[in-house]
Amino acid sequence: MTKEKLKKLIGQRIVELRTKKGWSQADLARECGKDRQAIEKLENGKVNPTLYSLIEIAKALGVTLSNLVDI
């Protein structure tokens, strides 16, 4: 799997979990202390997320890190 494909898959997983909660990108951003544009870039696979960012997002979404990256 390429790095680009992995970034897109993680982004899609974040969208899936976020929408299950009925949250907008702004809602998720607020919950994990990021700005909406950062969430948008993550979801679109435009940036390579750090492990710490993924942990923050998983915590905000109420899932484990392994559940978040279970692709």
* pLDDT tens digits for range 1-50: 899 999 999 999 999 999 999 999 999 999 999 999 999 999 999 999 99
Kindly report the CA angle at 58 between 52 and 60, in degrees rounded to 5?
105
User: For residue 70, what pLDDT is reported?
Assistant: 85
Q: Domain limits of the chain?
A: 3-68
Class (C level, CATH) for 3-68 = mainly alpha
Tokens 């692709």 locate to 71
d(CA 34, CA 26) in angstroms, rounded, equals 9
Burial class (CB within 10 angstroms; exposed 0-12, middle 13-18, buried 19+) of 50: exposed
